[in-house]
A and B are shown apart, each in its own frame.
Chain A
Amino acid sequence: DIQMTQSPSSVSASVGDRVTITCRASQDISGWLAWYQQKPGKAPKSLIYAASSLQSGVPSRFSGSGSGTDFSLTISSLQPEDFATYYCQQAYSFPLTFGGGTKVEI
């Protein structure tokens, strides 16, 4: 199974900050990576697929990059509604696996 490791597990930030979350795969997954946002008590929301493609309706302050084993999600200017937990997920092979999550908090 491909292991997905996110860092940091939590990050404290302020409105307007630039925030970067990283995700590392235990083997080469090319660009087969997605990012999700989840707020407490809510379903995950899809943000990015194929490492860097924005899902429809997702604000442009979110961006994804990387390939192979190292990936990142960047929020260019943190907004109040962005405080949430973020997960990466590899879609390269079954079993599909998620990172452990990164909580973005004040």
Chain B
Amino acid sequence: EVQLVESGGGLVKPGGSLRLSCAASGFNFKTYSMLWVRQAPGKGLEWVSSISPTSDYIHQPDSVKGRFSISRDNADNSLYLQMNTLRADDTAVYYCARLRGSYPDFWGQGTQVIVSS
């Protein structure tokens, strides 16, 4: 059974940093691209970062470029999102998801990030 379990969320002050993790199981992690998607309170879905199986290709929207960094450890079946210089508008639930081809097919349950003083 495919499972994705996010962790690392919490309350952080503006300007602070946080590192999210996503533990994958039930599939051959090293052969799949992965991504992070977030959802601000009461809002829609926003793509945050994508990474290819061997980390050769990374894509991010301008809203997080230079502040967020996606990485993975295929030996440990783990995906990460390093978030620096956090702002109030980064407050959201962050989901990791598996990409099958170009489409997310399985999603984790999410981890809450709150940026507030």
Contact = CB atoms under 8 A, between A and B. Distances in A.
Interface SS of chain A: helix, strand, loop or mixed?
loop
Contacts of B103: 34, 46, 49-50, 91
Interface string A70-106: 0000000000000000010101001111111100000
Nearest to B106: A46
B109 A95 contact: no
Contact of A49 (B44, B105, B109): B105
A87 B45 contact: yes
B95 A100 contact: no
A94 B105 contact: no
Interface of B: 35, 37, 44-47, 50, 59, 61-62, 95, 100-110
19 contacts: A34-B103, A34-B104, A43-B95, A43-B110, A44-B95, A44-B104, A46-B104, A49-B105, A89-B47, A95-B59, A96-B35, A96-B47, A96-B50, A97-B47, A98-B44, A98-B45, A98-B47, A100-B44, A101-B44
